[in-house]
Amino acid sequence: MDDRSRARSAPRLFILQPASVVPIYRQLIDQVRRMVASGQLPPGTALPSVREMAAEYTVNPTTISKAYSLLEAEGLLQRNRGKPMTISARRRANGTVAQRLKQVQPHVEALVLAARQLDLREEDLAALIRKQMGEDT
Residue 72 lies in a domain: yes
User: How many CB atoms sit inside 10 A of residue 49's CB?
Assistant: 15
Residue 92 lies in a domain: no
Q: Quick one: 29 and 81 in the same domain?
A: yes
For the full predicted model, state whether its pTM sits above 0.85. no
Q: Supply the mean pLDDT for the chain.
A: 83
CATH code of the domain containing 71: 1.10.10.10
Q: Quick one: 101 and 82 in the same domain?
A: no
Q: Quick one: 75 and 106 in the same domain?
A: no
Does residue 137 register a pLDDT over 50? no
Q: Quick one: 32 and 66 in the same domain?
A: yes
The 10s digit of each residue's pLDDT in 4-45 is: 444 444 467 899 998 889 999 999 999 999 899 888 999 999
Q: Quick one: 75 and 125 in the same domain?
A: no
The 10s digit of each residue's pLDDT in 41-64 is: 999 999 999 999 999 999 999 999
Can you give the residue range of the structural domain that contains 113?
97-133
Q: Quick one: 63 and 116 in the same domain?
A: no
